[in-house]
Amino acid sequence: MAVNTARSLIHFLAEDAGLNTIANIIIFEGNPDPNKVIYLFGSLWGEMQLLCCLISWIVIIRYKSLIPLMYFVWLMEWILRETIVKYQHGLDLIYKTGPTPGSDYAPLVIGLLLIFFIMSLRDRAE
């Protein structure tokens, strides 16, 4: 959750929403500047991530019985990102100048979340 919270804060507060500096998305040219709208949606995305993190932190601190649910929510977010969203709105090589951590490391994150989700269910059943 610490990594998710940091990532959310960057998307929410960074001037470019972390899209150019971290995700290596190209800077678009145009008049009016299309990047302002892109950064707006990146920042809104970070805001929603941050709110989800807040809920997750509350669950971790106060409502531990809901931890499997939170794992499920985060697992679904990453799975949908890598399936439906990636294929509907995927970033081709022409839109990137380097690796995009949120996409490149997604299979690893999905695997870890799946393991943690299964472990959280197993611990609850015993």
CB 66 within 8 A of CB 59: yes
Domain that holds residue 112: 2-125
Q: How far apart are CA 14 and CA 7, in angstroms?
A: 10
Using one digit for the tens of pLDDT, what is the confidence trace for 27-58?
A: 999 999 999 999 999 999 999 999 999 999 99
Tokens of 54: 């807040």
Locate all alpha helices (DSSP H) within the chain, ordered by sequence: 2-13, 35-62, 67-80, 86-89, 101-104, 106-125
Paired with 123 in beta bridges are none
Q: Is the pTM above the cut of 0.85?
A: no
Q: How many domains does the chain have?
A: 1
**pLDDT tens for each residue of 55-96:** 999 999 999 999 999 999 999 999 998 888 877 877 666 678
